[in-house]
A and B are shown apart, each in its own frame.
Chain A
Amino acid sequence: MENGGERERQRRRKMRSIGIALALGALVILFYVATLVRLGGNVMNRPL
C-alpha cells in the first residue's frame, strides 16, 4: 500500500506538472498571437 501510494503520488505530481507546463505554453502562444493581431502590419511601421 505504501509503494502504491507513493507511485500514485508521483503519477499525480507528474500529471500536475505537465498540466502547468501546458498552461504556461498556451499562455505564451496566447500572448504571441494577440500581439500579432493587435499590432498587425504596424509592427513594421517604425523609424529604422
Chain B
Amino acid sequence: MNRNDSWLAKIEQRSQNMMTLLVLVMAVLLIQLWLLSIALEEFMASQSGLAIPTFAASCACLVLNLWLLKYLYDIDRKEDIQ
C-alpha cells in the first residue's frame, strides 16, 4: 500500500466514523421525540405519572448526545493536530 492509498483509507475511515456518529445522534433524538410525545399525551389526559421518568430518560439521552458531540470535537481536534 503506497502513501496515497493509506491517506485515502484514512479519509474513508473518518467519513464512516462521521456517518456512524450522525446516525447514532439521530436515533437518540428519535427516542427523545417519542418520550416527549408520551409526556404530552399524559399531560393532555391530566395525568402526570410518567412526567418525571420521561424527563429523566430524555436528560440521559441528552447526556449521551453531548458525549457523542464531544467525540466529534475530539475527531476534529485530532485532525487539526495531524
A binds B: no
Residues of B within 8 A of A (CB): none
